Amino acid sequence: MAMHYGSGFCGVCASQRKVERQGPNHILHLLLTVFTGGLWVIFWILLSIQPGAWRCSQCGSVDVRNVH
């Protein structure tokens, strides 16, 4: 999985923290698309549209706001 990083306010820690979320592994999805003759591209697009939730890197909470 690809990791995306940013900065956001953690509601549990009550401070600005480094936040992260998982995104799709584009290399894996490219290989699956090639091996399935292009059929996997539908799933790849759906997974790319809906990335994972932002999590605080300190406590792991998903109560994160104002990510930039």
What local confidence, expressed as pLDDT, does residue 64 receive? 95
Whether the CA torsion 43, 52, 67, 7 is positive or negative: it is: negative
* Lookup: tokens for 68: 């930039």
For the stretch 5-60, pLDDT in tens is: 999 999 999 999 999 999 889 999 999 999 999 999 999 999 889 878 999 999 99
Contact (Cβ atoms closer than 8 angstroms) between residue 50 and residue 2:
no
Ramachandran category for residue 37: left, alpha or beta (phi over 0 → left; psi -120 to 50 → alpha) = left
pTM: 0.72
Looking at per-residue confidence, does 55 or 3 come out higher? 55
